[in-house]
């Protein structure tokens, strides 16, 4: 089954670039696990919510908001699409992610196929 | 036994097993439920005509399987459905009632998966394993039937959509998940145990269902001492069920309960199970709580209760489960073993920490310890505080009685 792991981290917390993540020892276990098992089928590291622009359309007017669609204490800092056998495997990967270990959280969402 | 009685008995004994097997074979919870129900309906007709089969469980499982096959064949519009039908026609495994690869164990672990909300776990367990109907479960949990139906639908949908596996967890997950399963059964029991009045009979039935499920689990996991410990604990509590309230529905404390009215068969069974569990040398929270319950239920009179033992067991429990409620219970035991002041010291500690602020049993415990040491004015003040916080009527009446005693002295 395919799952999206939504990596949530606290707003105004640490903001590591993809290059920094690759070097960061806290990510080693997770990165090695997903690499060795070849479960990641896609994903992206996202810039913080403060860099977001939210688009809505009312009638023929395009309304823009500076910031995320909803203000919250955590924001989605990245997405990994993984393919594993079941929810237990997805949870096991998610629980190794530094975000889950270090004050953030990982939302596991089944991909609708 | 009449055919009707045989079907009723088979329903109690075999429903969970039939449904669990059908879920494994079809992978479809709704279809499995429909076919299991249908098999029981057919049994009523067929057993009247042909007599009760030698192995009702095997008969019901086979009948339900055939029904599932028919449904899938009829609905076979796409290749996938055809494939499912093909799977169903595969040679049947020999009917296995040895309990080794019991489908019910898969079902228990799936229903109690921690990715489901606790309310969903409880409802699913009652529906699928215990065979309670949705209206029965709704009544037991005091929610509208539509709410409970919705809860069950949502839970089954999540199992399917989120890919919750239908299996006994692998070794590295097993201890944690077993604790979760035991927790659901214990919660079920407590829901029933908290119900005291006659109008709550449906809720009291939850105790019987919890004991039944604990029995199944203990049989399916013979190497798990905590499963035995839980069953022992439930039996030792359940043994006192008739004496916990008097004819007027008023709460009777352990001290004042009529010990001759306890269910002595349950006491003995519980105590024996506990011994078997403890011999494995792997104690856990349920075994310790069962040991505490056994101290109470095996004492000939309230005065014979070994409070020093109970205090030590609570100390051990607090080490395994660092919970302020456990420490509050230890305060009660210490108060009985070493005198009220020892208990009051621990209560004062808990009050300073503040975690139990708002919990009526904190001031109620202080009140009881003060009452026992003869400080009635102070006790009355603590009872008043407890009364501000209490929610359950039976407990409120009890506290009011105690308060009146303190004031009149």
pLDDT one-digit tens code per residue, A3-55:
999 999 998 888 888 899 888 988 888 888 888 888 999 999 999 888 999 99
Contact yes or no for A77/A45 (Cβ under 8 A): yes
Q: Is B223 left (phi over 0), alpha (psi -120 to 50) or beta?
A: alpha
Cβ pair B169:A110 closer than 8 A: no
DSSP of B90-137: SPPPPP--SSTT-HHHHHHHHHT-TTS-HHHHHHHIIIIIS---HHHH
Distance between CA atoms of residues A106 and B314, nearest Å: 37
Cβ pair B165:A88 closer than 8 A: yes
Question: Nearest CA to CA, how far is B128 from chain A (Å)?
Answer: 21
DSSP of B285-332: HHHHHHHHHHHHHT-SSGGG--HHHHHHHHHHHHHHS--HHHHHHHHH
Distance between CA atoms of residues B69 and A100, nearest Å: 44
Q: How high is the pLDDT of residue B201?
A: 64
Please report the ipTM that was assigned to this predicted complex. 0.88
Mutate to test the interface with B, among A87, A95, A110 (most CBs of B within 10 A): A87
Cβ pair A86:B173 closer than 8 A: no
Mean pLDDT over the full length of chain A: 91
- Domains of chain A and any CATH numbers: 2-110 (3.30.70.1060)
Q: Which residue of B has its CA nearest to A83?
A: B163
pLDDT one-digit tens code per residue, B89-99:
555 555 444 44
Question: Could you give the 3-state DSSP secondary structure of residue A77?
Answer: strand
Cβ pair B163:A110 closer than 8 A: yes
Task: Give me the residue label for tokens 């309960």.
Answer: B257
Contact yes or no for B273/B235 (Cβ under 8 A): yes
What single-letter DSSP state applies at residue A80?
E
Instruction: Pull the structure tokens for residue B222.
Output: 């013979």
Instruction: Pull the structure tokens for residue B40.
Output: 């029981």
**What are B101-104's contacts with CB under 8 Å, separation 24+?**
B102/B17, B102/B20, B102/B220, B103/B17, B103/B20, B103/B21, B103/B23, B103/B24, B104/B16, B104/B17, B104/B20, B104/B129, B104/B216, B104/B220
Main-chain dihedrals φ then ψ at residue B156, nearest 5 degrees: -65, -35
Short-list B168, B274, B183, CA closest to B221: B168
Between CA B156 and CA B360, with CA B184 as vertex, the angle to 5 degrees is: 125
Cβ pair B163:A91 closer than 8 A: no
Task: Check CB contact of A113 with chain B, cutoff 8 Å.
Answer: no
Instruction: Pull the structure tokens for residue B11.
Output: 């329903």
Q: How high is the pLDDT of residue A71?
A: 79
Banded pLDDT at A56 (limits 50, 70, 90): very high
Contact yes or no for B87/B72 (Cβ under 8 A): no
Task: Give me the residue label for tokens 């005065």.
Answer: B303
Distance between CA atoms of residues A39 and A85, nearest Å: 10
Between CA B404 and CA B409, with CA B405 as vertex, the angle to 5 degrees is: 115
- Helix%, strand%, coil% for chain B, nearest 5: 75, 0, 25
Q: How high is the pLDDT of residue B99?
A: 42
According to DSSP, the residues that pair with A75 across neighbouring strands are: A9
User: Which residue ranges of chain B lie beneath pLDDT 50?
Assistant: 95-100, 197-198
B165 vs A3, A87, A108: nearest CB: A87
CA distances from B47 to B5, B16, B58, B106, B166 (A): 11, 20, 14, 29, 32
Q: How high is the pLDDT of residue B98?
A: 43
Q: Which residues of chain A lie closer than 8 angstroms to B169, CB-CB?
A: 88
Q: Which residues of chain B lie closer than 8 angstroms to A87, CB-CB?
A: 113, 115, 162-165
Distance between CA atoms of residues B273 and B293, nearest Å: 13
Name the pTM for this structure: 0.86
Chain B residues contacting A, CB < 8 Å?
113, 115, 161-165, 169, 173
Q: How high is the pLDDT of residue A28?
A: 85
Instruction: Pull the structure tokens for residue B236.
Output: 């030792």
Q: Which residues of chain A lie closer than 8 angstroms to B165, CB-CB?
A: 85-88
A residues 79-108 closer than 8 Å to B (CB) = 85-88, 90-91, 108
**What's the average model confidence in pLDDT over A99-112?**
93
Q: How high is the pLDDT of residue B345?
A: 97
Mutate to test the interface with A, among B115, B162, B171, B180 (most CBs of A within 10 A): B162
Question: Nearest CA to CA, how far is B229 from chain A (Å)?
Answer: 27
Contact yes or no for A4/A113 (Cβ under 8 A): no
Between CA B3 and CA B15, with CA B9 as vertex, the angle to 5 degrees is: 115
């Amino acid at each position: 089954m395919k799952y999206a792991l939504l990596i949530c981290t606290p707003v105004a917390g640490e903001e590591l670039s993809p290059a920094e993540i690759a070097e960061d020892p806290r990510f080693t276990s997770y990165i090695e696990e997903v690499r060795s098992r070849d479960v990641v089928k896609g994903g992206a590291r996202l810039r913080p919510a403060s860099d977001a622009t939210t688009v809505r359309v009312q009638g023929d007017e395009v309304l823009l908001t500076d910031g995320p669609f909803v203000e919250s204490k955590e924001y989605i800092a990245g997405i990994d699409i993984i393919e594993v056998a079941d929810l237990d495997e997805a949870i096991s990967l998610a629980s190794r992610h530094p975000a889950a270990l270090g004050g953030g959280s990982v939302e596991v969402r089944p991909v609708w196929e | 036994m009449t055919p009707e009685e045989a079907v009723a008995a088979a329903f109690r004994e075999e429903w969970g097993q039939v449904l669990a097997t059908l879920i494994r074979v079809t992978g479809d919870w709704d279809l499995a439920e429909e076919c299991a129900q249908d098999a029981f309906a057919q049994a009523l007709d067929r057993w009247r005509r042909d007599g009760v089969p030698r192995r009702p469980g095997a008969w019901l499982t086979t009948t339900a399987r055939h029904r599932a096959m028919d449904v899938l064949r009829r609905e076979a519009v796409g290749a996938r459905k055809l494939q499912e039908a093909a799977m169903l026609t595969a040679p049947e495994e020999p009917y296995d009632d040895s309990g080794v690869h019991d489908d019910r164990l898969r079902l228990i672990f799936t229903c109690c998966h921690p990715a489901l909300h606790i309310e969903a776990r409880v409802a699913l367990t009652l529906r699928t394993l215990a065979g309670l109907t949705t209206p029965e479960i709704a009544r037991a949990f005091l929610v509208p039937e539509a709410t409970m139906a919705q809860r069950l639908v949502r839970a089954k949908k999540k199992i399917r959509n989120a890919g919750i596996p239908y299996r006994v967890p692998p070794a590295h997950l097993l201890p944690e998940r077993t604790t979760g399963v035991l927790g659901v059964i214990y919660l079920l029991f407590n829901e029933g145990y908290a119900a005291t009045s006659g109008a709550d009979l449906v809720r009291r039935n939850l105790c019987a269902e919890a004991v039944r499920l604990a029995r199944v689990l203990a049989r399916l996991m013979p190497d798990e001492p905590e499963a035995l410990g839980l069953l022992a604990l439930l039996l030792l509590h359940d043994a006192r069920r008739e004496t916990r309230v008097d004819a007027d529905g008023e709460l009777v404390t352990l001290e004042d309960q009529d010990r001759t009215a306890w269910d002595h068969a349950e006491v003995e069974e519980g105590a024996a199970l506990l011994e078997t569990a403890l011999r494995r040398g792997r104690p856990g929270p349920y075994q310790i709580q069962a040991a505490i319950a056994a101290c109470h239920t095996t004492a000939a009179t309230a005065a014979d209760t070994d409070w020093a033992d109970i205090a030590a067991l609570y100390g051990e429990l607090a080490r395994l489960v660092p919970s302020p409620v456990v420490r509050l219970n230890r305060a009660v035991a210490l108060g009985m073993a070493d005198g009220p002041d020892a208990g009051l010291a621990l209560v004062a500690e808990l009050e300073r920490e503040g975690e139990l602020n708002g919990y009526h049993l904190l001031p109620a415990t202080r009140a009881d310890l003060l009452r026992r040491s003869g400080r009635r004015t102070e006790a009355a003040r603590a009872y008043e505080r407890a009364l501000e916080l209490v929610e359950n009527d039976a407990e409120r009446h009890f506290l009011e009685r105690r308060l009146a005693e303190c004031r009149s002295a």
